[in-house]
Amino acid sequence: MSVVLPAERLQKALGYIFSEPKLLKQALTHRSYSSTHNERLEFVGDGILNALVARRLYQVFPQFSEGDLSRLRAHFVRQDSLAVIATELQLGDYLSLGEGELKSGGHRRPSILADALEAVLGAIWLDGGFDEAAKVVEQLFATRIAEVNPLDAMKDAKTSLQEWLQARKLALPQYEVLRQIGESPDQIFEVSCTCVELKVATKAEGTSRRAAEQEAAGRLLHQLRLQHPGKKVAKK
């Protein structure tokens, strides 16, 4: 039976196979591990990601102004949003980190995960070109962008969740800091967001309490919309 290497699993999840695997290796190498690390690839990936997300938003939301599109793009490419995608890809499992970062949980730190995701996208662009990078970004972001409600697009997640609950005469959500890891500026906050009446809760991490609450609220709102697409809800 053939053995599937970790890098192969990641490439399968991305939907892209590198012709130069050393680029992927570099993209997954933190500066704490080696002098040949991923920061230059991160720089490239940041530019590619911004351009591709901007193009997608331009196509999907013709009614939005330049300012609206800029704010929406900022939501999708911000650190905590990218860290969520990186976590879904289990990117932290593939990172090469120095001993200090390993001990402090660097493989789960949103800043490291987001940077690594950008570096991987930069590596894909250098390895396969713009069209290949576009396919990967499309795979990672298309559903997220398609789920955007234009009426809510310019509101933050906590506001949108509050309005959703109030429209159904439900109590406001409860937020709780579950744990706090590390020290500023590399702190990680884990926060829960709970709708008590419906007995639904989500958790999220962020580099600030506010960022974690926003992410947890967004996840809860997404879950509630799937479970209760109409105006009426059945309390559990």
**How much is the pTM?**
0.70
What domains are there in the chain, each with its CATH number? 6-146 (1.10.1520.10), 157-227 (3.30.160.20)
Residues 136 and 125: their CA atoms lie apart, in Å, by: 10
Backbone angles phi, psi at 129, to 5 degrees: 95, 175
pLDDT value at residue 236? 58
The binding site for Mg(2+) comprises 42, 115, 118
Query: Which three-class secondary structure state does DSSP give residue 45?
Result: helix
Backbone angles phi, psi at 189, to 5 degrees: -110, 130
Along the 236 residues of the chain, how does pLDDT read in single tens digits? 333 356 789 999 999 999 999 999 999 999 999 999 999 999 999 999 999 999 999 999 998 889 888 888 988 898 878 988 998 999 999 999 999 888 888 888 888 999 999 999 999 999 999 999 999 999 999 888 888 766 666 677 898 899 999 999 999 999 999 999 877 767 888 999 999 999 999 998 888 888 889 889 988 988 898 888 766 666 65
The binding site comprises 42, 115, 118
Residues 228 and 43: their CA atoms lie apart, in Å, by: 41
Helical H segments across 89-207, by residue range: 99-103, 110-128, 130-146, 157-167
Residue with tokens 């406001």: 172
- Selecting among 80, 118, 127, 205, the annotated active-site residue is 118
Does residue 27 contact residue 123 with C-beta atoms inside 8 Å?
yes
pLDDT value at residue 160? 87
3-state secondary structure 173-223: CEEEEEEEECCCCCCEEEEEEEECCCCEEEEEEECCHHHHHHHHHHHHHHH
Does residue 103 contact residue 32 with C-beta atoms inside 8 Å?
no
- Selecting among 46, 80, 127, 205, the annotated active-site residue is 46
Residue with tokens 């580099």: 207
Does residue 188 contact residue 205 with C-beta atoms inside 8 Å?
yes
Check if 197 is active-site: no
pLDDT value at residue 231? 66
pLDDT value at residue 154? 61
pLDDT value at residue 104? 84
Query: Which three-class secondary structure state does DSSP give residue 204?
Result: strand
Check if 46 is active-site: yes
Residues 183 and 228: their CA atoms lie apart, in Å, by: 39
pLDDT value at residue 1? 35
Instruction: Estimate the crossing angle of helix 130-146 against helix 39-60, to 10 degrees.
Output: 50
